[in-house]
Amino acid sequence: MTDVGRHPRIKLLTLSEVVDVKGYVGNFDVKILKKSRYVSENECTACGECAKVCPVVRPDEFNFGLSSRKAIYSPFPQAVPSAYVINVNECLGHNPVVCAKCVEVCDKGCINFHMSDEEITERVGTIVVATGMEPYDPTELDEYGYTRFENVLTSLEFERLVNAGGPTRGRLVRPTDRRTPGSIGFIQCVGSRSARKGASYCSNVCCMNTVKSTLVLKEHYPDMDVKVFYIDIRAFGKGFEDLYTRSRRLGVKYIRGLPGTVEERADAGLRVAVENSATNSIEFHDLDMLVLAVGVKPSAATQRLQEMLGLQLTPDGFFLEAHPKLQPVDAATRGIFYAGCAEGPKDIKDSVTQASAAAARAIRLMHRGEILTEPITSEVIAEHCRACGKCAEVCPYNAITVDTKKKTPAVVNTAACAGCGTCAAECPFGAITMNHFTDVQILDQIDTLLEEDPQDKILAFACNWCSYAGADYAGVSRLQYPPNVRLIRTMCSGRVDESFIRHGFARRAPIILVSGCHIGDCHYIHANHWTEKRVARFRKKMEKLGIRPERLQLEWISAAEGTRFSSIMHRLEELRKEVSLEEIEETVRILENGAGVRRDSPGSE
C-alpha cells in the first residue's frame, strides 16, 4: 500500500472523484474533483497532536461506529497518504473560525481552513476501473434483527472487532456488555443467493471469510462454541477445502439451514430458530453473539461511471466485460479495463490477478506510443450527407458528430468507431460507406447465392461475434441440419440494411434470416436494438405490401448456442417449404412496382 504513495510515476489523488470523461482510447480527457483535506499532505507527519486537542468527538466510520474519532483524524493507522484529514461538516474552526485549537498546536503549520476543492484535468490513454464493492446492508432483512439487537453484527464489523488495529485491539467483545462471548453464530448468504431480498448471485467470498473467522476464533478462544448456519459451503479455491476441514476438525459446528427468526433473550443473547435440512428438524440455538456474513454489492459509483464512460452492466449491476471467457478484463469500449470487485464479487487473489491482467492489457495497447485503428470503420460521403443526424443518434460509441443546425456534414471519429455498421444501415440518404462491408460487397453475395434455384435457399445474415460463431459451434459439435442455408457474415447485425432484405426478396429468396447476439450481449453495446427496430419496421412494410412477414425472421443466437442455431435451421427449412413458387413470383411483382430495384448507395463503389 505504501508503495503507491511514494512511487514517482504514480500521482495519487485521494478524496477525489472523476466527474467527467471526454475523448476516446488513446486520449481521454478526464476531469477530477479533489475535495479539500485542510491538512497539507506533504507536510503532515501524522504526529497526532491536533487530534488530541480537537473537542469534537464523532463515531469512527472506519470502525462502523464501534469506536470514536475527532473532527481532525487519521482514517486508520496504516493510511496512505498518512496525512490527517478534517471533516469540515464537523469542524468548529472552519467557518467562522471559533475553535482553531488544532492550528495552534501544529508546529509545522499544516492546517489551513482556506484550502478549497480543486478541479484537476488529466489526459490519459487508457482507464482501469477498480471501484470495488459495497458490503450488503442487512437492514431490510429484519428477521435477523440487525437493527433491533445490538449483538447482531455484520461480518465487516466483526472484522474490525477482531482486528489488532481495531477499536478493541483485537479482543472480541459483545457490544452490550463488553465481555468476550462464550458462543457465537455465523449466518451465511446474507443478501446473496436469494430471489426475495438482496441479490440472487453468490457473493463468492463470504463462505471462506466465515471459515477464516472460525479459525481465528478457535485459535484465540479454543473453548468458544462456534456455529455456522449455511446453505452449502463454497470452498472451491486453491487451499480452501483444507481450511474448511480444519475448521470442522477444530469443533466448529456447521448446521445446514438458514435461520427463520432471531429473538433477543433477557441476557442480550440471541435465540436462533432454524430448520436443519440435514436432520429435517426445527432447532433452537442460544448464542451470545451473531455475525451476518453479508454479501458483496456493486460499488455505489457504478452507474454514474457506466454512463460517463459508456460501459455496460450485467443484470446484477457489476461491470460487463467484452467477453466473459476470452476478454475478462476488457470493457467493450476500447481502452477501458476492469479490475477487482467492480467486475464481480471475488477475493483478494482474484482481484490482484485481474489487476495485473488489466495492467498488461493496458500496456499492450499503449507500448507503441501510437494506436493503430482497425480500418473496418465507416466513412461519410460528405456530398451526400444532408446532416439529418440519424447516424449520430444510432452510433453506440458516439463516434459521429454532426451539426444538424448548421447543416455541416457528419464526421466519423475513426478512433472511436468500432465498425458495427449501424450508421450505414440507418442513414436515409446512403451517405455512409461501411468499409469492408459495403453495400456492393454484400449485394453481390446475395445475387450470387440466389442466382440458381433461389426457391431452395435460405438467405441468412449472421453477426461475427455471436450468431456466426454459434453456427461454427454447431459445426464443431457436428449437429446436422438441412443444407439449404447460406450465411452472409457482417460484423454486427446492425449492419443489415433494409435494402439488403428488400433485394433478397426481389431476387426470389423464400426466407431471410437476420441473426445476432442476444439483446444485452451485443458486441457493439446496443447496436442490435436498431436491428430489432429495423426488422420490425420492415415486417410492417411487408404486411402492407402483401408479403407474408413470417418470411423475414429475426433470431438471437449466442456463440455457445450451437444447438439453438441448428434447431433454428430446421425450423426455417419448414418455413421455406411453405413458400410456393407463385408466392415468390408475386413478391417479385410487388417489389418491382415499388422499390424492388437494387439501390446501391452512392458511396458503396
Partner 1 sequence: MIVEKQENRTTGRRVGVYVCHCGLNIARTVDCRKVAEAVAEMEDVAVARDIPYACSEPGQHSIKEDIAEHRLDRIVVASCSPRLHEPTFRQMVQSAGLNPYLLEMANLREHCSWVHMNEPEEATRKAVDLTRMAVARVRNLVPLEPEVLPLTKRTLVIGGGVAGIQAALDLADNGYDVVLVEKKPSVGGTMAKLDKTFPTMDCSI
Point out which residues bind ligand SF4 (CB under 6 A).
Answer: 188-189, 192-193, 202-204, 206-207, 234, 293, 295, 377-378, 380, 385-391, 394-395, 397, 399-400, 402, 409-410, 412, 417-423, 427, 429, 431-432
**From ligand SF4, ligand FAD, partner 1, none, which one binds at residue 240 (CB under 5 to 8 Å depending on kind)?**
partner 1
Contact 277, 256 (CB under 8 A): yes
Task: Identify the H or E element spanning 37.
Answer: none
- Tell which positions 462-491 bind partner 1, by CB under 8 A: 464, 468-469, 471-472, 474-476, 478-481, 483-484, 486-489
354 binds partner 1 (CB under 8 A): yes
Q: Which is nearer to ligand SF4, 269 or 494 (CB)?
A: 494
For the CB of residue 237, give the shortest distance to ligand FAD in the complex, in Å: 9
For the CB of residue 285, give the shortest distance to partner 1 in the complex, in Å: 25
294 binds partner 1 (CB under 8 A): no
454 binds partner 1 (CB under 8 A): no
**Among 51, 162, 231, 268, interactor with partner 1 by CB under 8 A:** 162
Burial 445-471 (b: 16+ CB within 10 A, else e): bbeebbeeebbebbbbbbbbbbbbbbb
For the CB of residue 499, give the shortest distance to ligand SF4 in the complex, in Å: 14
For the CB of residue 389, give the shortest distance to ligand SF4 in the complex, in Å: 5
Distance CA 184, CA 303 (A): 37
Q: Which is nearer to partner 1, 38 or 530 (CB)?
A: 38
Q: Which is nearer to ligand FAD, 135 or 257 (CB)?
A: 135
Contact 227, 274 (CB under 8 A): no
382 binds partner 1 (CB under 8 A): no
For the CB of residue 377, give the shortest distance to ligand SF4 in the complex, in Å: 6
57 binds partner 1 (CB under 8 A): no
| Cβ-based burial of 172 (10 A; exposed 0-12, middle 13-18, buried ≥19) | buried
* Closest to 128 (Cα-Cα) out of 243, 34, 30: 30
339 binds partner 1 (CB under 8 A): yes
428 binds partner 1 (CB under 8 A): no
Q: Which is nearer to ligand FAD, 130 or 388 (CB)?
A: 130
Which grid cell sits at 59?
Answer: 463515531
For the CB of residue 493, give the shortest distance to ligand SF4 in the complex, in Å: 12
238 binds partner 1 (CB under 8 A): yes
40 binds partner 1 (CB under 8 A): no
* Closest to 224 (Cα-Cα) out of 188, 268, 271, 172: 172
Contact 103, 111 (CB under 8 A): yes
**Among 231, 313, 388, 415, interactor with partner 1 by CB under 8 A:** 415
Distance CA 459, CA 463 (A): 14
**Among 18, 252, 290, 509, interactor with partner 1 by CB under 8 A:** 18
Contact 146, 138 (CB under 8 A): yes
Interface with ligand FAD (CB under 6 A):
17, 130-133, 135, 155-156, 159, 205, 209, 212, 296, 299, 301, 340-342, 346-349, 351
* Closest to 546 (Cα-Cα) out of 592, 583, 503: 583
Distance CA 27, CA 46 (A): 38
**Segment interacting with partner 1, rule: CB under 8 A, options 100-108, 212-220, 510-518, 531-539:** 212-220
**From ligand SF4, ligand FAD, partner 1, none, which one binds at residue 460 (CB under 5 to 8 Å depending on kind)?**
none
For the CB of residue 10, give the shortest distance to partner 1 in the complex, in Å: 5
**Among 28, 254, 318, 530, interactor with partner 1 by CB under 8 A:** 28
**Among 40, 176, 276, 414, interactor with partner 1 by CB under 8 A:** 414
**Segment interacting with partner 1, rule: CB under 8 A, options 51-59, 269-277, 436-444, 584-592:** 436-444
Contact 397, 526 (CB under 8 A): no
Distance CA 487, CA 471 (A): 9
For the CB of residue 596, give the shortest distance to partner 1 in the complex, in Å: 12
435 binds partner 1 (CB under 8 A): yes
449 binds partner 1 (CB under 8 A): yes
* Closest to 214 (Cα-Cα) out of 179, 256, 172: 172
Contact 25, 415 (CB under 8 A): yes
In three state form, how does the secondary structure of 525-566 look?
Answer: CCHHHHHHHHHHHHHHHHHHHCCCHHHEEEEECCCCCHHHHH
Q: Which is nearer to partner 1, 159 or 426 (CB)?
A: 159
Q: Which is nearer to partner 1, 268 or 588 (CB)?
A: 588
List 379's β-bridge partners, or say none.
433
Distance CA 487, CA 56 (A): 72
Query: Which sign does the torsion angle of CA 262, 265, 268, 269 carry?
Result: negative
Ramachandran category for residue 275: left, alpha or beta (phi over 0 → left; psi -120 to 50 → alpha): beta
525 binds partner 1 (CB under 8 A): no
Which grid cell sits at 77?
Answer: 493507522
